[in-house]
């Protein structure tokens, strides 16, 4: 299982270089480890099995159960994104993902933009308050909050925008009405739209919750969609905890 996971993961970073924390790093550089690396021994020998970068550290964090799927997702986004990029938060909810995205891509000179969507006014307002209290950015220059179904992203996102990431955090709004959930009928057209707007080298990240009624059906729909994407242009994988069947599942679709 671990081998398979590593294989899928490596196909995610198939180019010879990868961006980490806004820098593009070579796989063959002297020390690919970011300063927060928790494996200092790796810095002394690049041939050591412990000589791993952020991607493997992230994967090991998930495998060992120390890292939650949301944390893994954010670290993967960080490897894909750099300052000045554009991203979409398809389900902004309480705003935690929009905030994480803004921190990854907004720079001081007004570059970097997040298009955020939710169908609940309370979610849009909750996201707005979180962003206002958590950042000094002049938000109108960096984020557009749309009270709109994510299947309609192409009505909002400019045709020429280079979208590096589209993130879905499915299910219901934490602390909100558990009866309002994402459903396959709109998640699927949104994924189809995502597959059109995400740029080459970009990612669709989908965190799927299966603990509520309808969650498993939505997972099935997401998996079927992912399985049918052509291998020439997409690499699709999922991270799933086999002995915690109710834990969220992270599905990652990388556009080659």
CA angle 120, 250, 239 (to 5 degrees): 170
* DSSP code of residue 123: H
Encoded one letter per residue, x for contact with ligand SAH by CB under 6 A and - for no contact, window 70-109 reads: ---------------------xxxxxxx------------
DSSP alpha helices (H): ranges in the chain?
Answer: 2-12, 54-63, 69-80, 96-105, 121-134, 184-197, 215-227
**144 scored as a contact of ligand SAH (CB under 6 A):** no
**Closest by CA position to 84, among listed 44, 126, 113:** 113
**69 scored as a contact of ligand SAH (CB under 6 A):** no
Q: Least distance to ligand SAH from the beta carbon of 211, Å?
A: 13
**229 scored as a contact of ligand SAH (CB under 6 A):** no
Which residue among 5, 51, 52, 119 contacts ligand SAH (CB under 6 A)?
Answer: 119
Strand partners, 143: 114
Encoded one letter per residue, x for contact with ligand SAH by CB under 6 A and - for no contact, window 183-222 reads: ---x------------------------------------
Strand partners, 89: 116, 167
CA distance 103 to 112: 10
CA distance 8 to 221: 20
Which residue among 123, 206, 237, 252 contacts ligand SAH (CB under 6 A)?
Answer: 123
Encoded one letter per residue, x for contact with ligand SAH by CB under 6 A and - for no contact, window 28-67 reads: ----------------------------------------
Q: Which residues bind ligand SAH (CB under 6 A)?
A: 91-97, 117-120, 123, 149-150, 169, 171, 173, 180, 182, 186
């Amino acid at each position: 299982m671990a081998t398979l996971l590593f294989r899928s993961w490596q196909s995610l970073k198939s180019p010879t270089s990868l961006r980490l924390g806004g820098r593009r790093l070579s796989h063959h550089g002297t020390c690919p480890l970011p300063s927060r690396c928790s494996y200092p021994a790796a810095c002394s020998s690049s041939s050591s099995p412990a000589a791993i970068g952020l991607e493997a550290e992230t994967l090991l964090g998930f495998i060992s159960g120390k890292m939650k799927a949301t944390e893994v997702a954010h670290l993967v986004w960080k490897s894909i994104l750099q300052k000045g990029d554009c991203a979409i938060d398809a389900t902004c909810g309480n705003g935690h993902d929009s905030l994480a995205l803004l921190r990854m891509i907004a720079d001081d000179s007004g570059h970097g933009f997040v298009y955020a969507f939710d169908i609940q006014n309370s979610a849009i307002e909750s996201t707005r308050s979180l962003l206002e209290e958590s950042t000094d950015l002049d938000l109108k220059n960096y984020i557009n909050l749309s009270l709109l179904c994510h299947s309609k992203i192409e009505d909002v996102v400019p045709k020429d925008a280079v979208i590096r990431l589209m993130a879905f955090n499915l299910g219901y709004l934490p602390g909100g009405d558990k009866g309002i959930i994402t459903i396959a009928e709109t998640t699927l057209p949104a994924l189809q739209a995502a597959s059109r707007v995400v740029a080459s080298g970009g990612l669709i990240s989908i965190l799927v919750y299966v603990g509520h009624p309808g969650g498993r059906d939505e997972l099935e729909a997401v998996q079927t969609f992912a399985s049918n994407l052509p291998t020439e242009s997409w690499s699709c994988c999922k991270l799933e905890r086999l002995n915690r069947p109710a834990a969220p599942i992270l599905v990652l679709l990388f556009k080659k």
